[in-house]
Amino acid sequence: MRVDRGLRTRLLNAGQEFLAEHVEALEPAKQEVLLPQIEALDLEGIAALRRGEGLAVPSPEPWETMPCVAAGARGPRTEAAVRGRMELAGGKVAFVMIAGGQASRLRWDGPKGTFPIGPKTERSLFRVLVEHLVRAARDFGAVPPLAVTTSPTTDAAIRAFFELNDCFGFDRSVLSFVCQSSLPAFDEAGRLILAAPDRLFLSPDGHGGAIQSLESRGTLKAWEQQGIATVCTFQVDNPLLRVVDPDFIGRIWTEGTPIATKVVLKDAPGQRLGIVVRRSGRPAIVEYSEAPEERAAARDASGALVYRQGSIAAHAFRLDFLRRALATGLPLHAAKKEIPCLDASGQETRVKGIKYERFLFDVFPHARDLTVVEVERDREYAPVKNADGDESPETSRRTLEAEYRRWYRDAGREPPEGVLELSPLDALGPDDLRPSHARGGR
């Protein structure tokens, strides 16, 4: 099969003429698979990306530190917690789980949310997180809407997994799946990367793209029409996150800011967390890969990092603000990555390349201010990102189990022997485990 002259010319103009030669060298069955993928590409947009057009430009402005609500200043009896419970009971809060990524770094064959993380039962990340919302419906008498963002490569598998598990007991009437867009990646020579001989490498266009898809597909507008006022967003990879947090939700109303964001305090500049700062008088998060090394490593007289508020990608937004900010669009960020693909012999390998993503926190500078809320790392941040080492299933399960044991001790009870696991339906903290409440552990 010959690639027609018009497509060949467009590929040439986009610097991707090698694809025409590659297609013509394939067997017919593989040509029929790959050619439609190439024809669907926005080749003019790809040419613009190669020229660096439309990309976010790192800002040279100096940083300022942001005030922070200390972890010890939060709790169930604060004004913010009271307001948050009112919002939840009134059915005014919706949630977004950003779940479109695949678990390539975990070496898991499937969407990341399907990964088994429960220390004892191997409950999936999806189940652990969704059960927080099932519990919220029980506690507040209102089922909060949930949107799960997917991607073209994970959408069918995620929907099937939810169906297989009866949506983990969540009310289907307020559950939606929204597929975000994907973007190609370039190798160091500026050529598009192939995931396989007959398949282009495509990856979700970032957490910003995930939220932008909710606006473009009408989900945010529908929520607004239903009376939703607050939208909480979170990633699928942190099973320790307190997803439904009344004190956190209430902060955007009691503090009068359109955004609240959770942070842990960094103790080393190399920790892969975005840094919350004020820049040009506006709040911002600087992605760790874009932070000037010297500035990120700056320490004060006590030896602590100056810029130490590390984002854990859990945010609460006023919905009206979020929709206005998204209307201006989100720029693309380029990141150098090792990208999984197949070599000429069909063996799995990784190549150095450039991926493109949109960041949700590019809406932050649209706000005059935001509320920064500190959480303790061992109590709310145990991400599952890598197959081994730091932020792996082993470290996450260990942190989860240690937290469950702390709840028992704080409740005045001895933790059960052996491997310990608690569902959010069993307990969200020590209060649920006190003798008058106890439901036990799994």
Q: Return the CATH number at 248.
A: 3.90.550.10
Domain boundary among 385, 414, 432: 385
CA nearest 372: which of 256, 243, 296, 259?
A: 259
Same domain, 147 and 282: yes
Q: Tell me, what's the pLDDT at 346? A: 67
Both 233 and 169 in one domain: the answer is yes
353 exposure class (CB count in 10 Å sphere: 0-12, 13-18, 19+): buried
Alpha helices in 217-365 (DSSP H): 219-225, 246-254, 293-296, 319-326
Site of tokens 């948050």: 84
Identify the DSSP state of 357.
E
Three-state secondary structure call for residue 269: coil
- Paired tokens of 133: 């919302």
- Which of these, 44, 47, 43, 26, lies nearest to 35 by C-alpha position? 26
Write the CA distances from 272 to 41, 51, 134, 231, 383, integer angstroms: 32, 28, 31, 25, 11
Domain boundary among 385, 401, 431: 385
Packing angle, helices 206-216 and 319-326, rounded to 10: 100
Please, are residues 220 and 231 in contact by the beta-carbon 8 Å criterion? yes
pLDDT of residue 439: 45
Distance CA 217, CA 223 (A): 12
Same domain, 220 and 335: yes
Q: Which among 367, 377, 390 has a CA at the least distance from the CA of 310?
A: 377
Instruction: State the residue for tokens 């006590």.
Output: 302
Domain's final residue, options 363, 385, 407: 385
428 burial class (0-12, 13-18, 19+ CB within 10 angstroms)? buried
| Total domain count, the chain | 3
Comparing CA positions, the residue from 380, 388, 150 lying closest to residue 247 is 380
Same domain? For 379 and 435 the reply is no
Q: What global pTM score does this model have? A: 0.94
Residues 48, 61: one domain? no
Instruction: Report the length, in residues, of the chain.
Output: 442
Below-50 pLDDT ranges, the chain? 438-442
Q: What is the pLDDT of residue 440?
A: 42
For 416, the domain range is 392-442
Degrees, nearest 5: CA angle 390-395-401: 160
Separation CA 184–CA 179 (nearest Å): 16
Half-sphere exposure (Cβ direction) of 258: Cα atoms closer than 13 Å:
18
- Whether residues 359 and 398 share a domain: the answer is no
47 and 89 in a single domain? The answer is no
Q: Which helix (H) or strand (E) holds 86?
A: helix 79-89
What percentage of the chain exceeds 90 in pLDDT?
86
Within this chain, do residues 402 and 253 fall inside the same structural domain, yes or no? no
Same domain, 361 and 406: no
**In this structure, are 342 and 323 located in the same domain?**
yes
Whether 282 and 408 share a structural domain = no
**Token pair of 308, please?**
């130490």
Distance of CA 323 to the CA centre of its chain: 19
Residues 45 and 88 in one domain: no
Q: For residue 72, what pLDDT is reported?
A: 94
CB of 423 within 8 A of CB of 442?
yes
Q: Which amino acid is at 384?
A: V
